[in-house]
Structure 1
Amino acid sequence: MLICPRRVRPVLPLYSHLTQRHSTNSYLSTMTTSDFKGHCPIGDFDINKAHAVISNDPEKIYNEYQYLRQECPLIYTSQYGGYWIMSRYEDVKRAALDSETYISSVKAVVPSDPRGIRRPPLNFDAPAHTPFRTALERTLKPSRIRRLAEPLQRHAETELAPLLATGRGDISAQFGANYVARVETEWLNLDPDVAPKLATTAAAWLNAWRMQDGETVTANSMKMYQIARDLLADRRANPRDAEEDPASSLLLETDPEGNPLSEEHLVGCLRQSLVVGVVAPPILIGSICKHLAEDKNLQKRLREDESLIPAALEEFLRLYSPYRGFARTVSKEVHLHGQTIRPREPITLNYTSANRDPEIFESPEEFILHRENIAMHLGFGRGRHRCVGMPLARLAVETVIKVLLRSTRDFEVEGPLQYSRMPELGIISCPMRFS
């Protein structure tokens, strides 16, 4: 039942040996119904043992995504409790835009929080999620983003200084983790002393979540919940301009029936806000810095002409999208590519794979500055659950690129890289040498 239908496309060289050993028909004829789950009809490829679901190595995963897009654009794996992988651009975009069919309130990430806790707006559907998004978006208007530019540059310079002083350091786990915590404190108007605590707590929480260590997740999550509770209590007593302060903005909103938002959900939204901004940016920063360390010509061009950096950032967002496990379930049966997805069965909208789909992006594995259709990338998702912090994330990472290039003559990767587990994809530790 869960076999992918064979499509009339060439098999990639990576898996060409499978068709030499088995013809599709003869292979299928030897399989029983119980064999179907987790297999494609090309030789002995087994999605449950594939790099796409068990590996952390981006190059191996990207390579396998090519195969899945061509031969198995929708496939089920029993890993992480079982979920569908949707890998083609058009399918992913269509699902992201159809929030009535593809819902977020059952499961929004694979793997999920091991404790099953659900927080707005990520785990809510419209209309319940709308007041939370409205409140957060109110604080991310262009005028606020412009005012954040100077403090973010200052934080980037401050956090980069220790690495430059010694000539080396980890641009992801050291600089990136500390810098994004500073970004969060600026956006949320937290006491500056909170930033170091947030950086260490969020890192410990994230590593435990990736390992599905529920006890450690809970211990560090409670610390972040306390930060959120303290913040909300202060804003109740000392409200600020709603366009400048997320907690104050949330306190103005009501639910679809006109009632004040519950304390639990307000705290949950602030707790969610603390986390989302510290997960993806260090991964993206590491991937960008590795790319620039290897592409000296591009590094030189961006250093000499900063006006090229925004365009370069968009291509980096396409090429190194840091999520592979954002998920939905369906509100009704969905029939796609000969398969049937049933309600409560998780589907990952694989933005990483979609952004390398050759049907949309020419030479998708290459970095192409000023790519004509770069605005089509799904680095921030699409639809009602598109990343609410998108303007801040762009500013934060663009600032890093500028400060790094201004502060150095060159830089190299120095030492082994470490890569993220599901649901992210990319570099979480990138030791570098600076000159």
Structure 2
Amino acid sequence: MTNTDLTWSDARRADHDFDPVRDGETFTSAHEEFRALRERHGGLVRSQEYDGFWAAVGYDEVLSVMTDIERFTTRKQNAIPKFAFTGVRPPLHLDPPEHTAYRRVINRFFTPPRMRALEPAVRAASTALLDELVAERWVDVCKQYAHRFPAYVFAEFFNLDVETSELIKSVSGTYVDAIQVLDHETVKSLSGRLYEIAQGIIDSRASGDYDPEEDLTAGLLAAEHDGEPLPADMILGCVRQLIVTGMVAPSVFTGNMFVHLARDPELQAQLRADPSLIPDAVEEMLRLYSPYRGMARTAREDTELGGVALKKDDPIALVYTSANRDESVFEDGESFVLNRPNITKHIAFGRGTHSCPGAPLARMMMRITLEEALARTSSWNLTSEPEMAIWAEWGTRSVPLDFVRA
């Protein structure tokens, strides 16, 4: 790297290319802004909000940061904005090799045989909620379905009663809202409440009545690393992390699918006529409407990314929302293309060490949602514009629909 490069990069640190939080965001405005940023600045842009950070908006830049664990760490800051710290939560807050013991246990519970065994319960939860919506017709699919469905699925997956799962959903939803407005006191308070719930789940497994091969929490309690049990505080942090991550992203993304199909009645009809196309449609929507734009890494050392000199401890937001539309990788990336030839390159669930272990369950939830919703209706239409989440997620918080029963 030349001195000229460093001088130019130091000047870039003073730039303010975009504001991550804007009033009045629409279903298309963020993607329009990210496309303009990629065209104007390339794959790495700068914001002075949240004490200043880099945002990787290009596919190659996001992929480089998320897969290069030698240069970038998740341990220091895994999200932008950085919010009140309330404890280490494996595996998200750890790098290899520490994180591997937790992922080894978690991965066992997302295998294809386990997903097949879980599918009837997931479908039953979906159909019960959708029957209510279709009968009512005028609905908010986010508030009445997308915000409720993950709680039912989580209850089944985590061997919880639905009441506990709905409590987790309620508390985690308010917790995420507080993060978005940097309400640190509320974040600390609600995070503490989530730790209490997690500890209750762990305590309920202390009797040994749960099979470690069938229950994820019991599996963590039975696991060892280097011949020693996993530390109790780390197990608590892990359960605390898991009970939140499974709630937020599916809620945000589900509404996106309904909006897209409301705006594309031809695709609606095509998927109703041939439901075998639904998995491919879900995959393309995952690319097109990836919900993450605030996941982050931190530079371990002075380094370079996309021709820009980064300094040790620089935070970098990984804007999957933008990267998955990068037209240098995805031709006509702003458009929905069923059976896109290189769809497997999308990074909606991340890549590498910290790729989302729950991706198989999320895909199942989205597929079943569309299968059952399309089967019960002849059409659905937007009755007003959707309300959008704000940074750090991208997606819908409210989607008013008119369901027409089949």
- Report the TM-score when normalising by structure 1: 0.87
Partner of 1:405: 374
Matches of 2:163 and 2:224, distance apart in 1: 32
1:64 is aligned to 2:33: yes
Q: How is 1:8-407 mapped onto 2 (pairs within 5 angstroms)?
A: 37-39=13-15, 46-47=16-17, 50=18, 52=20, 54=22, 56-72=25-41, 73-115=43-85, 117-255=87-225, 257-407=226-376
**What secondary structure, in the 3-state scheme, does the structure 2 residue paired with 1:169 have?**
strand
Query: Which sits farther off after the overlay, 238-247 or 347-356?
Result: 238-247
Aligned AA for 2:221? Answer: L
Offset of 1:60 from its aligned partner?
Answer: 2.2
Structure 1, unaligned stretches of length 5 or more?
Answer: 6-31, 40-45
C-alpha contact 1:319 1:367 (8 A) present in aligned 2: yes
Residues 417, 342 of structure 1: alpha-carbon distance in 2 compared, 3 angstrom cutoff = same
Aligned AA for 1:176? Answer: A
**What secondary structure, in the 3-state scheme, does the structure 1 residue paired with 2:89 have?**
coil
C-alpha contact 2:20 2:391 (8 A) present in aligned 1: no
C-alpha contact 2:296 2:318 (8 A) present in aligned 1: yes
Structure 2, unaligned stretches of length 5 or more?
Answer: none
Matches of 2:210 and 2:395, distance apart in 1: 37
Query: Which sits farther off after the overlay, 239-248 or 75-84?
Result: 239-248
Instruction: Name the count of aligned residue pairs.
Output: 398
**What secondary structure, in the 3-state scheme, does the structure 2 residue paired with 1:332 have?**
coil
C-alpha contact 1:176 1:282 (8 A) present in aligned 2: yes
Offset of 1:113 from its aligned partner?
Answer: 2.9
Offset of 1:244 from its aligned partner?
Answer: 2.3
Q: Over aligned residues, Cα RMSD in angstroms?
A: 2.2
Matches of 1:233 and 1:116, distance apart in 2: 20
1:432 is aligned to 2:387: no
Which structure has the greater CA radius of gyration? 1
- Report the TM-score when normalising by structure 2: 0.92
Matches of 1:291 and 1:244, distance apart in 2: 37
Partner of 1:24: none
Partner of 1:42: none
Offset of 1:191 from its aligned partner?
Answer: 1.6
Aligned AA for 1:66? Answer: R
Query: Which sits farther off after the overlay, 111-120 or 359-368?
Result: 111-120
Offset of 1:53 from its aligned partner?
Answer: 5.0
Matches of 1:355 and 1:75, distance apart in 2: 16
Matches of 1:368 and 1:132, distance apart in 2: 37
Moved over 4 A (4+): 32-36
Offset of 1:324 from its aligned partner?
Answer: 0.5
Offset of 1:202 from its aligned partner?
Answer: 1.9
C-alpha contact 1:52 1:64 (8 A) present in aligned 2: no
**What secondary structure, in the 3-state scheme, does the structure 2 residue paired with 1:434 have?**
strand
Offset of 1:51 from its aligned partner?
Answer: 5.1
C-alpha contact 2:91 2:100 (8 A) present in aligned 1: yes
Query: Which sits farther off after the overlay, 235-244 or 317-326?
Result: 235-244
Offset of 1:192 from its aligned partner?
Answer: 2.4
Higher relative CO (Cα under 8 Å, sequence separation at least 6) belongs to 2
C-alpha contact 2:12 2:46 (8 A) present in aligned 1: no
C-alpha contact 2:20 2:47 (8 A) present in aligned 1: no
Aligned AA for 2:64? Answer: R
Query: Which sits farther off after the overlay, 197-206 or 179-188?
Result: 197-206
Matches of 1:61 and 1:184, distance apart in 2: 30
**What secondary structure, in the 3-state scheme, does the structure 2 residue paired with 1:62 have?**
helix
Offset of 1:259 from its aligned partner?
Answer: 2.3
C-alpha contact 2:55 2:318 (8 A) present in aligned 1: yes
C-alpha contact 1:208 1:217 (8 A) present in aligned 2: yes
C-alpha contact 1:52 1:61 (8 A) present in aligned 2: no
Matches of 2:32 and 2:268, distance apart in 1: 26
Listed one character per residue, the Cα deviations across residues 330-362 of structure 1 (whole Å, up to 9, x for unaligned) are 212112334211221110122111100111101
What is the percent sequence identity of the aligned residues? 34
Offset of 1:82 from its aligned partner?
Answer: 1.7
Residues 294, 58 of structure 1: alpha-carbon distance in 2 compared, 3 angstrom cutoff = closer
Matches of 1:305 and 1:132, distance apart in 2: 40
Matches of 2:363 and 2:27, distance apart in 1: 22
C-alpha contact 1:138 1:249 (8 A) present in aligned 2: no
Matches of 1:299 and 1:125, distance apart in 2: 42
Residues 90, 337 of structure 1: alpha-carbon distance in 2 compared, 3 angstrom cutoff = closer
Aligned AA for 1:412? Answer: N
Offset of 1:152 from its aligned partner?
Answer: 0.6
C-alpha contact 1:178 1:195 (8 A) present in aligned 2: no
Residues 326, 270 of structure 1: alpha-carbon distance in 2 compared, 3 angstrom cutoff = same
Query: Which sits farther off after the overlay, 95-104 or 54-63?
Result: 54-63
C-alpha contact 1:139 1:242 (8 A) present in aligned 2: no
